[in-house]
Structure formats: structure tokens, C-alpha cells
Amino acid sequence: MDVLIVLISAALCLGALGLAAFLWSLQSNQYDDLDGAARRILLDDDLPED
């Protein structure tokens, strides 16, 4: 029964940590430019210079 208490508390701590990381990513504007990364892969940056 003691193991169950430890596992539940560990799961709650990890869930809170994941939620905190998600909220931090929202605050630091990680999801602002979703189309930019999709278009950036199509650009050819390694063209030979003349």
C-alpha cells in the first residue's frame, strides 16, 4: 500500500511538471509561427555562390 502512495504522488508530480513545461512553452511563444517551419524546409539555402 505504501508503494501505491509513492506511485500516485510521482505521477502527480510528473503531470504537474509536464503542465508547467507546456505553459512555459506557451508563454515563450513557441507556437507562434507554425507555417514558417513548414515553408523553411522548401527553401534551397545551399545554392552554390557564383
What predicted TM-score, i.e. pTM, was given to this entire model?
0.62
C-alpha cell at 34: 507554425
Give residue 5's identity as a one-letter amino acid code.
I
CA-to-CA distance for 2 and 15, rounded, in angstroms? 20
What's the sign of the alpha-carbon dihedral 8, 13, 14, 15? positive
Helices (H), the chain: 2-27, 34-40
- At a CB cut-off of 8 Å and minimum separation 6, what does 25 contact? 31
What is the pLDDT, as a whole number, of residue 24? 96
User: pLDDT digit string (tens) for 7-35?
Assistant: 999 999 999 999 999 999 999 988 888 78
